[in-house]
Amino acid sequence: MIVRRTVFGRPLRGVAFDVAVSGVVALVSLTAAVSQPGGWAATGVGVGMAAALLFRRAHPSAVTVVVAALALVQVIAQWGPQAYDVAVLITLYSVVKYAERLRDGVVAGGVAAVGVLLAAAQTPGVISWWVTAIWYALVTGAVWLVALNVRTRRLYVLSLEERASTLEREREAESRAAVAEERTRIARELHDVVAHSMAVMIVQADGARFMLDRDPEQARTAVKVVADTGRQALEEMRRLVGVLRDAGPAGGDGPAVAADPEHRRLALAELPELLARFRAAGLRVRHTTDGELPALPPGLELTIYRVVQEALTNALKHAGVGAEVELTLTYTLDAVVVRVRDDGRGRPVVSPAPSGGHGLLGMRERVTVYDGSLTAGPRPAGGWQVEARLPLPSDPATEVIAA
């Protein structure tokens, strides 16, 4: 970490340099107080210029006006050029380099050109005044051009720093957005795990309580389903928590985006196990597949899995235990169609299971991520139907993560 010392809000190095420059100009003026034309009056002008140089970085235009006014006093008094007039060149350099607008530097350059002519006219010597004017003009012009070059480089460096700062802010914003997206994905996965599993467990627990005296064997089966479903939910929750723990960098603050967002995602290969759990819960599920399973991105497989899980959970909650459900997966060259139908003729549950609150909405949001469509509603022959159509990506390697 770099600690920058400041004085009055300005860097210490800059303040020290300006004090040194001002001190040199004041010292030159005081040293020549006796020998220079104008005596102590001229020395006062030189000390005034030196004092103004202390503010050349913070207020370059104002300092230029002050120094120009003092130089005009020197010209009117006809003292001729003095050694402390180096302050004029320092001021010209400062206004070109530090002024907010280059126009101030151009105006200062014009004023300096007039000053060159007046100074040359008052310079005693054996050579022509115009030769002296050319010499003064070359020195002044060189100072102006050097200042312009330094100003250009300074502004370029500032633009690079601003660009780097902007990129850093954009990276931070992207990181925050990625973290928010990951949180949304984890929240949705937790909802699917908890809401669906709890719905199955509630239905089975109510059924076990109802059948405890009438059919103890069936009640034991229902209790076993409750235990198996709970274990499965706990395992999935541990998996999600493990992803969160492994995702954050060492010593990081808060959650981070998983380095591998598809770490142990559920896939269609686990669909038979899901169907087996619902069959054990009391649904009579028939599964048919049309077409050959293409290579699917992991996120799309997860979406299909969750749509099937949500549709079967709704069938169990609303159609009841014993309902007949038909699951059809149709694979074409450009889309995957998931169709889940139930006959609505299951045994009514003892008490309705509470809704997860995001069933159809959650399915619709997942499907929309892949530009798909979802329809759900009652069937004319009774029961309920859910149908989701998911277009296949043109490039199977292209991954879209369902939040």
DSSP letter for 348, please: P
**Structure confidence at residue 365 (pLDDT):** 80
SS3 content of the chain, % helix, strand, coil (to 5): 65, 10, 25
pLDDT in tens, 177-204: 877 776 676 666 666 666 667 777 777 7
**Which part of the chain has CATH 3.30.565.10?**
169-391
C-alpha distances (whole Å) from 59 to each of 23, 53, 140 are: 19, 10, 21
Sorting pLDDT into bands at 50, 70 and 90, what band is 296? Answer: confident
Q: What are phi and psi of 254, to 5 degrees?
A: 80, 180
- Region at 335 (left for phi over 0; alpha for psi -120 to 50; beta for the rest): beta
How many C-beta neighbours within 10 Å does residue 249 have? 8
Q: Are 197 and 229 in contact (CB under 8 A)?
A: yes
C-alpha distances (whole Å) from 333 to each of 37, 296, 393 are: 98, 12, 10
Nearest-CA neighbor of 118 among 106, 129, 128?
129
Residue whose tokens read 């920058």: 4
CATH class of 169-391: alpha beta
pTM of the model: 0.47
Q: How far apart are CA 341 and CA 326, in angstroms?
A: 5
pLDDT in tens, 228-273: 777 777 776 776 666 555 554 444 444 443 434 444 456 788 899 8
